[in-house]
Amino acid sequence: MSEEPVAPHAAQLIDAARTIVIKVGSSLLVDRDRRKVRAAWLAALAEDVAALRESDKRVIVVSSGAVALGWHHMGIDRPASLESKQAVAAIGQGLLMNAWRAAFDPHHVEVAQLLLTRGDTESDRRRANARATLAMLLEMGALPVINENDSVATEELQYGDNDQLSALVAELAGAEALLLLSDVDGLYDGDPAQPDAHHIGHVPQVTPEVEALARKPLEGSVGTGGMASKLSAAKLANERGCGTIIASGRPMHALASLRDRKVRATVIGT
């Protein structure tokens, strides 16, 4: 593990990658007070993604947010039972895709919804089908926006806020880079809220020592994933030759800031 300067830098991994998977969690996409899509933030991300595509890169998005949007839309408290979470997910999924479509319309980018369950990546036949569909969408020039099929998957809601799914998608797509946008700008050797915590710029591989640094999700977050989930996803991706970046998605144009080397991030693997 090394503290900054980052070597290799996140920008170098992004620039070298042909295919990039970007995971966006609920806590970034949905305003936790108003429980609505952060439309201006999403528009800025769409602009950054469009710029990546213009540089001849293939981009896939894994997006959470259906449950959070669904429960707000129905005017109910955060659902506790699996059945209620599945129901509000069915409502929120359409709202989620509408938000992504509106963000990319100015860039004339067609977005395509792809819902997966764990079975789609564990069964050989279904896995091959998902891989073929994803490849065709990319060939057609569409932007795949992938989410767990929350309304039918009985295990997703303990799945790490799509972190694990994003690593599996990276494998399906043969991606060289997985970008996990988070609430913090990477991994620290202590609580990031404390002044004595040091940012870790590069982790060659996820070891038990690294896993011990993981912390719980931020208090008040609408997401379910924490640093432990992201490290687990990074470990899975790295085993398949895909480098992982954990970076803060809070700032506007977070992706462009990474490419311009203006912000910190943790690069895992490579």
Spatial distance between the Cα atoms of 101 and 135, rounded to a whole number of angstroms: 20
Task: Point out the annotated binding site for ATP.
Answer: 23, 182-183, 224-230
Task: Tell me the two tokens of residue 107.
Answer: 């860039």
* Number of neighbours of residue 239 by Cβ within 10 angstroms: 13
**Angle, to 10 degrees, between the axis of helix 163-173 and the axis of helix 124-139?**
70
- Positive or negative: CA dihedral 242, 30, 41, 60: positive
CA end-to-end span of the chain, whole Å?
13
Binding residues for substrate: 64, 150, 162
Q: Is the dihedral of CA 127, 175, 144, 268 positive or negative?
A: positive
Which residue numbers belong to the known binding site?
A: 23, 64, 150, 162, 182-183, 224-230
Q: Which of 231, 161, 183, 233 has the alpha carbon at shortest distance from 203?
A: 231
Asked if residue 20 lies in contact with residue 180, where contact means CB atoms within 8 angstroms, the answer is no
CA distance 157 to 159: 5
